[in-house]
Structure 1
Amino acid sequence: MIDRKKIALLICERLLMEQEMLRVNYINTRDSIGFFYIDNLLPVAIATAIAESFPTSSEMKLKKSLKEDKYISAQMDKHSEILEEVLYAFQDPQVVNLIAEICELQDIYPDEKLYAGGLSLMEKNQFLSPHLDNSHDKERQRWRVLNLLYYVTPEWKIEYGGNLEVWPNGLKAPQVTIESKFNRLAVMATHNDSLHSVSKVLVDKNRCCVSNYYFSDEPLKSSDTFHVTSFRGWPQEKIKDLVLRTDNFLRQTLRKFFKKGIVENPHYYKKE
């Protein structure tokens, strides 16, 4: 079994090979939604082992509503050991510091609890509507600043759907589509304007992703404010958009009175 430290070293080696290009890509998009992605992150044998170890949907929790339709899991002790190792490899200080350097950020922290992170799987017709991620960590002490998405479905094609969409100019302008390509890492800034979505999966295949968030004591933008995870409809979904915006308003209002919400979000790693 390859451990998280070795995986972290491999991640760093690959990032260092493309460091300047990745930095330029992020900086060039930073004024809207900063992002970059890198292919062939890990040796194919390791990436394939991660894919083959991914749990089935029956071993994960279904989140299904007007907002989203996907399977998730953060309880890593219930799954193959390699999945926990790769998740926490992204939390190795060398990896965190290198990604922070690429994005020209300081004092960035990983999240050991995997709050809203971990594993996700989408089957045919599943999706994730345009949304802003929750602005803070589980304890509402630090700001969420980076979203790391590592895709591990072999031979995935852009026409299969299930691709990351970022909306740098809002929903009234075209999105940027980032293919959920096998062995690709996508890193995206999270702030008050970082709308993103996952298009509907169109084939009978599982789109699998390993995700982490990084946090900071300060928001990415001085104009950032606290917000709950806030969903919208796609541009053609006018009625759905109205319903979701109303839902966002109501949940945001409740959080003014209940700082951590009425019900605790169960999506985090509950360690012994």
Structure 2
Amino acid sequence: MSVATVDEGPLLGPSFFLSRTALRSLALAHRDTYGAARPHPHVVIDGFLGERLATQLAGVFPGATGAPWMRRDHPEQAARLGQLQRKAFEGVHGALRHLLAELSGMAFLDFLETLTGVKGLIADPHFRGAGLHLTLRGGHLALHADFNRDRTRALSRRLTVLYYLNPGWEPAWGGDLELWNADLTRCEARIAPVLDRLVVMAHGDTHWHGHPAALACPEGRGRATVAAYFYTAEESPDAPEAHSALWAPPRP
């Protein structure tokens, strides 16, 4: 069952919205799997938006020359395109921008909290380090543990969400997300980047992951990912005591 509903709006054209009710049922169905997963808490959910909507989103995902990508070619990551948030996702199709907004919204945050048990999650509307990613033939992402803080807002990173938009992805092309144990002695999970697959992972400084082998997809294809990161605030001893609204006394 898809968690998205489609609205044929007369002014803005077709759009979709995440169903809070359907997402809660999905979270309850997968939360035990998430907590028990190894090498660290994670879950893989297929058919997240439904094949029809996912195929449409994949069809408007920008290609290598279809957006003002920033390209990275380093030993740690090669032929990786990203950083469209630098220009506020200008030129990106409205359906993909809408998806990014929905991933930052109430229904999806409630879903993540029910799934993971982490309360008070905060989305990043600036998508620092996240947003849309496209890895081209020969590209890779070395094993790594993600950055742990949003320094701008003094928040602690808690979750990573990845959503794949790769129709017809062949196993021989590689690109599996690899999850390795804390001492980097073995890969304990491999996740293919197939169409309409959602991955939710806990953050941790020993939560090693990546797709380190060079992609063998055909020229003109790429590994398309939508990424979103989620944070929590920390208690501060200097924070004022919480109170409800302060009402001014009636004027004479």
Please, what TM-score do these two structures have when normalized by structure 2? 0.79
CA-atom RMSD, angstroms? Answer: 1.9
More helix by share: 1
Matches within 5 A, 1:1-272: 1-3=13-15, 6-9=16-19, 12=20, 14-29=22-37, 32-58=39-65, 59=67, 60-69=69-78, 70-72=80-82, 73-74=84-85, 75-139=88-152, 141-199=154-212, 200-204=214-218, 205-218=221-234
Query: CA shift at 1:14, angstroms?
Result: 5.0
Any conservation in 1 of the 2:150–2:156 contact (CA below 8 Å)? yes
CA distance in 2, matches of 1:84, 1:125: 28
After superposition, what is the alpha-carbon deviation per residue over 1:225-255, rounded to whole angstroms, capped at 9, x for unaligned?
xxxxxxxxxxxxxxxxxxxxxxxxxxxxxxx
Structure 2 gap segments, 5+ residues each? 1-12, 236-252
The count of residues paired between Structure 1 and Structure 2 equals: 214
More strand by share: 2
CA distance in 2, matches of 1:2, 1:140: 34
Which amino acid in the other structure matches residue 71 of structure 2?
Answer: L
After superposition, what is the alpha-carbon deviation per residue over 1:23-53, rounded to whole angstroms, capped at 9, x for unaligned?
01111027x4210010011132211111111
After superposition, what is the alpha-carbon deviation per residue over 1:48-90, rounded to whole angstroms, capped at 9, x for unaligned?
1111111111222111101102111223122111111011111
Which 4+ stretches in 1 moved above 6 angstroms?
none
Which amino acid in the other structure matches residue 54 of structure 1?
Answer: F
After superposition, what is the alpha-carbon deviation per residue over 1:129-151, rounded to whole angstroms, capped at 9, x for unaligned?
00111101151500111100000
Query: CA shift at 1:156, angstroms?
Result: 1.4
CA distance in 1, matches of 2:145, 2:153: 16
Any conservation in 1 of the 2:28–2:114 contact (CA below 8 Å)? no
Q: Percent identity?
A: 22
Any conservation in 2 of the 1:14–1:41 contact (CA below 8 Å)? no
Rg larger for: 2
CA distance in 1, matches of 2:21, 2:166: 22
Structure 1 gap segments, 5+ residues each? 220-272
CA distance in 2, matches of 1:50, 1:117: 17
CA distance in 2, matches of 1:78, 1:124: 23
Please, what TM-score do these two structures have when normalized by structure 1? 0.73
